Amino acid sequence: MAQFQRIGVVARLRHREVVETLDRLVAFLKRDGRTVLAERDTAELLADHSIEVVDRRTLSPDSLDLVIVVGGDGSMLGAARALADLGVPLLGLNRGRLGFLADIPPEEMEQGIGRVLSGEYQLSERFLLAMDVHRNGGVAASGIAANDMVLHPGRSVRMMEFELYVDGQFVYSQHSDGLIISTPTGSTAYALSAGGPIMHPKLDAIVLVPMNPHSLNSRPIVIDGNSLIEIRVGTRNELHPTITCDGQYEIITEQDDIIRIHKKPRPVRLIHPMGHNFYQVCRTKLGWGSRLDSVRHDDRDSGAAAE
């Protein structure tokens, strides 16, 4: 039997191009003899209503062999959070803008996915972050993130105050617009915009990036991926700082709240086509320079053309 026989399809966006790609994908998988499954929201988008409809809450790790996500990196992050405990590998068919995670372009869908289904692929593991907000001796809220968790002042433009601890050791108190706690996956997202370093996805590390700190000495810190991060919300805050998970879930904190963040034990598994190269993705998506010899070659060609 094929390695990926039972395949779930996911599409969060209802854009026309996403729906058209989703229909094409399902038709391709069925022609290839695969069983296609989808949650009700995705199934309702499809022209083919004969696929198996499932409920994520009742899925077991043996229910699916693979999940293909049609959309952008945001859709991939949503699937990673939703399926975090199943251990099912994810493959992204890019219908977004960047494509750091969803890396098969729609024009190469049949060829790219066909190779993956025949066993030609690379597997990478990415860890997620788990967070609990402790209040008055109990847990007031929880969340998970594949990219980052961000503590910020919410709708206020005023700075907030907090204390940072790592593995029980006091790091600093800070007056700033907040703090970004990012995985290596999220290091090319919001953390990068705030001045954080780009981390290779294989690193077992977390980066802490301050947002507009009221100090010239406050810099991003890279810590061990197994660290326990603790943020204590200042008692003198007149506002109620908010913490978001991948920019989706907003949790409003109170004075004296303690936010604890750590790595989730089970990673998310991502499937990439053979030859996937993180540095090539960075060159393409971030506009890094190409090889100098190719630039010189282009210059020579341009000069010859000019003559």
Q: What does the pLDDT average to over 278-306?
A: 69
Q: Judge if 164 and 66 occupy the same domain.
A: no
Q: What is residue 305's predicted lDDT score, i.e. its pLDDT? A: 45
Residue 297 has pLDDT above 80, yes or no: no
Q: What is residue 300's predicted lDDT score, i.e. its pLDDT? A: 52
Q: What is residue 299's predicted lDDT score, i.e. its pLDDT? A: 54
- 1 located within any domain: no
- 52 located within any domain: yes
Q: What does the pLDDT average to over 143-164?
A: 88
Residue 1 has pLDDT above 50, yes or no: no
Q: Judge if 123 and 133 occupy the same domain.
A: no
Q: Judge if 238 and 254 occupy the same domain.
A: yes
The reply to whether 73 belongs to the active site is yes
Please pick, among 73, 148, 246, 257, the residue that the annotation labels catalytic: 73
**CA dihedral of 196, 200, 205, 207, whole degrees rounded to 10:** 10
Q: What is residue 238's predicted lDDT score, i.e. its pLDDT? A: 63
Q: Judge if 104 and 143 occupy the same domain.
A: no
- Domain range for 248: 129-263
Secondary structure of residue 238 in the 3-state scheme: coil
Question: What tens digit of pLDDT does each residue of 233-243 get?
Answer: 876 656 678 99
Question: What tens digit of pLDDT does each residue of 166-201 get?
Answer: 999 999 999 889 999 999 999 999 999 999 999 999
- 307 located within any domain: no
CATH number of the domain that residue 224 is part of:
2.60.200.30
- 292 located within any domain: no
- 222 located within any domain: yes
Return the higher-pLDDT residue of 54 and 159: 54
Spatial separation of the C-alpha atoms in residues 98 and 105, rounded to whole Å: 11
Residue 304 has pLDDT above 50, yes or no: no
Question: What tens digit of pLDDT does each residue of 115-139 get?
Answer: 999 999 999 999 999 999 999 999 9
Q: Judge if 55 and 159 occupy the same domain.
A: no
Q: What is residue 306's predicted lDDT score, i.e. its pLDDT? A: 44
Return the higher-pLDDT residue of 228 and 18: 228
Return the higher-pLDDT residue of 289 and 38: 38
Q: How confident is the model at residue 276 (pLDDT cuts 50, 70, 90)?
A: confident
Question: pLDDT exceeding 70 applies to what percent of the chain?
Answer: 91
Q: Judge if 88 and 182 occupy the same domain.
A: no
Residue 293 has pLDDT above 70, yes or no: no
Q: Judge if 154 and 204 occupy the same domain.
A: yes
Q: Judge if 200 and 158 occupy the same domain.
A: yes
Q: How confident is the model at residue 217 (pLDDT cuts 50, 70, 90)?
A: confident
What's the structural domain count of the chain? 2
Q: What does the pLDDT average to over 278-300?
A: 75
Q: What is residue 307's predicted lDDT score, i.e. its pLDDT? A: 40
Q: What does pLDDT average to over the chain?
A: 89
CATH number of the domain that residue 26 is part of:
3.40.50.10330
- 306 located within any domain: no
Q: Judge if 150 and 183 occupy the same domain.
A: yes
Q: Judge if 123 and 237 occupy the same domain.
A: no
